[in-house]
Amino acid sequence: MLTNKSFYPFLFIIFYLLSNTIEVREIISFAYFFSTLSFCLTALLLLAACCYPFYKSWKKCFLFAFAFLFFYLQYGSIHESLLSIKVIKAIAHHTVLIIITFILLSACFIIIKKLKINEKLILTLNIIYVFLTLFILTKLIYLSFVKKELSVQVPAWVNTQCDTCRKPDIYLLVYDEYASSISLKRRFNFDNSFLDSFLLAEKFHIQTNSSSNYNATDCSMLSFFSADYLSYFKTKNYYTKEERIDVLNDLKKTNFINYLQNNQYNIYNYSIFSLLKNDTQTESSPIFTSHLLLAKALHFKLLHDAGSIIIKYKLYRNILRRPFYRQRDQMELLKNNFLNKINNTKENNSPSFYYLHQLSPHDPFYYDRNDNDATFNLPVTEQEKTQAYLEYVQYCNKKIVEIITQIKKISDNNAVIIFMGDHGYRMNLPAVNNKEHFANQNAIYFPDKDYNLLYDSMSNVNISRVLLNKYFNMGLPLLKDSSIYIK
């Protein structure tokens, strides 16, 4: 059967997806894997069917479909390999590489037409991909039983309970890449007093010289929820793709969230991360896990490396309009679901923790200050990017005011509210350690208006410690405020 049936194109797709699953196995679902597999297999069959009128042979159709998908799916890996070789680095430019790929596929298309497909070729390809698929499947099964160490220690206090402690509702509002007002003034001479005045009038305490502990969103939020620094960066300032996946997985089992659960808190997550392993209350948006299995494919690689260039052209803009709007709509849905939840009457008397994470004013800059759609008014120059960011900040300010006003009304001013950026505004900054990478927005509301435990230069990692000390009598020492630049 292996000699006359073309199984290898199907096995190649399975092998490719399983290989990519190795690194992300703990954060993707079976449903996502099989939906991606179905998509790729459908593409394979459609491509083969399109070739049939030309070849009149299914063996030749599947051979070309295999060649096409091999180049398409492996494009990112080929590009990165060429970049690492200095002698031929020039051909790794996307324009050059795409032209070469087109020429090679055109040659394959013609050669296959003239090629006589014998049983030996099909048998060889089938055996190769049967072996590779079994090997990678065995490796995946083995790794599923290997437990990894957490990036932070699990202290004893996580499993303690405090029956006599005050347990207020806690709202965490994170706006991605929202720089502190003092940073906005320092860098762009932008006056953000509209938001600052509102926060002060609502009796918030603003940490004007706050800083994030990391310049990467996932690490910044993991350190906040763990109330500690991450072990990955004790001896280095970078992390591998697999370590980044570990960070996302570790967000499902953090010290702060586990402690709140042990103290009868309901956890309502309206963010871009999963905070709990199996929690039906979680409504996180899978921004960080989408397209992980196809990240090296030609389309996604181009969008990642040159999206700001190719989207300027109307053709690409129309093609990419849907995914851009999908992300925007996901953020709107999270926000609306969050507002609907807090507006509902509480189901019981248990305290609740609410987490809303919006990918704004981070780019792409979807709106200007007048609420106009700015999705495809893509900035190119540094000045245009800065202006678009500041416009988006002003749009976000109005939404933040609405949300905080609603929270205070519903909670009758008895809830803790934390409003912060995960890090500073990183665009237009050199890829080196710079304090502006970390200068984030940071304001806190305590119902008793007692802010003695806060200080002006507090970093994110100590906010969760202050909460634990103030409301749960933990007596945790504050950590040294440090900012670690991740390359």
Residue 90 lies in a domain: yes
Please check the confidence at residue 388 and state whether its pLDDT lies above 70. yes
Residues 97 and 225 in one domain: no
Instruction: Report the half-sphere exposure of 409 (CA within 13 A, side-chain side).
Output: 10
Residues spanned by the domain of 239: 156-472
pLDDT, one tens digit per residue, over 298-308 is 877 776 666 55
Residues 191 and 81 in one domain: no
**Domain total for the chain?**
2
Residue 328 lies in a domain: yes
Residue 351 lies in a domain: yes
Residue 483 lies in a domain: no
Residue 201 lies in a domain: yes
Q: Please tell me the predicted confidence (pLDDT) of residue 280.
A: 40
Residues 17 and 65 in one domain: yes
* Cα–Cα nearest to 121, from 68, 59, 67: 59
| Residue appearing with tokens 């500041």 | 390
Distance CA 371, CA 374 (A): 9
The model's confidence at residue 318, banded by pLDDT at 50, 70 and 90, is: low
Residues 95 and 131 in one domain: yes
The model's confidence at residue 207, banded by pLDDT at 50, 70 and 90, is: very high
Residue 246 lies in a domain: yes
Residues 432 and 411 in one domain: yes
Residues 122 and 166 in one domain: no
Choice between 252 and 179, residue whose per-residue pLDDT is larger: 179
As given in the structure block, the two tokens for residue 54 are 């030309």
**Residue at a domain's end among 112, 143, 174:** 143
**Residue at a domain's end among 116, 143, 170:** 143
The whole-number average pLDDT for the span 87-101 is 79
Distance CA 466, CA 444 (A): 11
Residues 369 and 227 in one domain: yes
Distance CA 129, CA 266 (A): 48
Residues 170 and 128 in one domain: no
Residues 177 and 133 in one domain: no
Task: Give the total residue count for the chain.
Answer: 487
Q: Please tell me the predicted confidence (pLDDT) of residue 289.
A: 52
Does residue 224 contact residue 152 with C-beta atoms inside 8 Å? Answer: no
**Residue at a domain's end among 143, 172, 198:** 143
Please check the confidence at residue 310 and state whether its pLDDT lies above 80. no
Q: Please tell me the predicted confidence (pLDDT) of residue 282.
A: 46
| Residue appearing with tokens 């954060």 | 27
Residues 166 and 133 in one domain: no
Residues 110 and 197 in one domain: no
The CATH code of the domain that includes 272 is 3.40.720.10
Residues 203 and 65 in one domain: no
Residue 481 lies in a domain: no
pLDDT, one tens digit per residue, over 327-382 is 788 888 889 999 999 888 655 678 999 999 999 998 888 899 998 887 666 666 77
Which residue pairs from 72-75 have beta carbons closer than 8 angstroms and sit at least 24 positions apart in sequence? 72/297, 72/298, 73/13, 73/16, 73/40, 73/294, 73/296, 73/297, 73/298, 74/16, 74/296, 75/101, 75/296, 75/297, 75/298, 75/301
- DSSP assignment string, 141-158: HHHTTPPPPPSS---GGG
The model's confidence at residue 281, banded by pLDDT at 50, 70 and 90, is: very low
Residue 478 lies in a domain: no
Q: Please tell me the predicted confidence (pLDDT) of residue 277.
A: 63
Distance CA 483, CA 461 (A): 10
pLDDT, one tens digit per residue, over 267-279 is 999 988 888 765 4
The model's confidence at residue 8, banded by pLDDT at 50, 70 and 90, is: very high
Please check the confidence at residue 392 and state whether its pLDDT lies above 80. yes
Does residue 359 contact residue 365 with C-beta atoms inside 8 Å? Answer: no
Q: pTM of whole model > 0.75?
A: yes
Query: At a CB cut-off of 8 Å and minimum separation 6, what does 79 contact?
Result: 92, 94, 97, 301
As given in the structure block, the two tokens for residue 130 are 């049967």
Residue 42 main-chain phi, psi, to 5 deg: -65, -40
Distance CA 137, CA 41 (A): 18
